[in-house]
Amino acid sequence: MIKVNQLTKRYARHEAVRGITFSVDPGEIVGFLGPNGAGKTTTLRMLTGYLPPSSGTASIGGCDIFRQSIDARRKIGYMPENVPLYEDMRVREYLKFRGQLKGLSNSDTRRRVGDVIDTCGLAHVHRKMIKTLSKGYRQRVGLADALVHDPELLILDEPTNGLDPNQIRQIRELIRHLGQTHTVLISTHILSEVEMICNRVIILDEGKIKAADTPSALIANMRSAGRIQAEIQADPEVASAALNRLDSVKKVTPESLEDGWTRYTLWVESGTDIREHIANLCSQYGWPLRSLFRHVATLEDVFVELTRRD
């Protein structure tokens, strides 16, 4: 559905996007991630025809975004980070207007507006003025706008920006549902959402692609140390020294708690689990042990490892 080859965008001496290459297959939901200033929004704007690239090639559904720009745009439904809406129009009126702008006939406009109102959960607000809607419903109107011409590809830039947890959950379920019939490229900072709904992840940093794989594969291939926490009642110096002698332990950091308890954070080699050895050590020394927890790596850990500056 999307094929990008050596796509580059320069602003004077600054390269916002540096020769990136990737593809998105039909039916995939792909997370497009990166820190602020990584080049995500610039890339999305090039794909949707809002910005001309400096060099490289890209196609949407087989249509070159430069030589066949109009045909490529017809295949795209784009929801920008800050959805521009005409606040003095009613929801149904606005969606009808947008459908006509996108070239739909009167009959197709009526049918598609009804479909997207149902799909996006706007049935009980379709007669309301947009300016009276909550942030969550405005996001839904923006998504309905992106869907009204029934595109093959949805490009969503921060679709849950500014929403509360309940609204985020609703939008997440809606995107998952849309992924059954559309290809979706989604840019977001909420990494837990990406883990739940995306088939694949592309991580961008400083204009370059740092990783592209499934969330589970990225987590499995992490190079950084694992982490285990144990709360033990013992002399901190003696316990720290004993824990440091265990196999696979890289570093031990103690933190004093109440009533003589200490929380020890053990940094261990990636992929290792030494909780049983810690429990045996406490039994050997007669130390009370009230908590033993292994931190399981997440997509957030992968993101931080790939994009941190220290």
- Each of the 310 residues of the chain gets a pLDDT tens digit; together they read 899 999 999 988 889 999 999 999 998 999 999 888 889 989 999 999 888 899 999 999 999 988 899 999 999 999 988 888 999 999 999 999 999 999 999 999 999 999 999 988 899 999 999 999 988 899 899 999 999 999 999 999 888 877 788 888 888 888 888 888 899 999 988 787 788 889 899 999 999 999 898 888 887 776 666 789 999 999 999 999 999 999 989 899 999 999 899 999 998 887 788 999 999 999 999 999 999 998 877 788 788 878 876 5
Shared domain check, 103 and 190: yes
Shared domain check, 240 and 166: no
Domain-terminating residue out of 174, 194, 220: 220
Q: Compute CA distances 98 → 110, 134, 143, whole Å.
A: 11, 20, 12
CATH label of the domain that carries residue 160: 3.40.50.300
Q: How high is the pLDDT of residue 176?
A: 87
Shared domain check, 153 and 56: yes
Residue 276 CA to residue 268 CA, distance in Å, equals 14
Shared domain check, 266 and 129: no
pTM for the full predicted model: 0.79
Shared domain check, 99 and 240: no
Domain-terminating residue out of 155, 188, 220: 220
Shared domain check, 241 and 97: no
Residue 236 CA to residue 234 CA, distance in Å, equals 6
CATH label of the domain that carries residue 266: 3.30.70.1340
Q: How high is the pLDDT of residue 223?
A: 63
Shared domain check, 28 and 167: yes
Residue 55 CA to residue 35 CA, distance in Å, equals 23
Query: Side chain identity at 288, as an amino acid letter?
Result: P
Residue 46 CA to residue 83 CA, distance in Å, equals 18
Name residue, tokens 């006939």.
105
Handedness of CA 241, 242, 245, 251 (dihedral sign): negative
Domain-terminating residue out of 169, 195, 220: 220
Structural domain span for residue 231: 226-307
Split into its structural domains, the chain has a count of 2
Residue 134 CA to residue 250 CA, distance in Å, equals 50
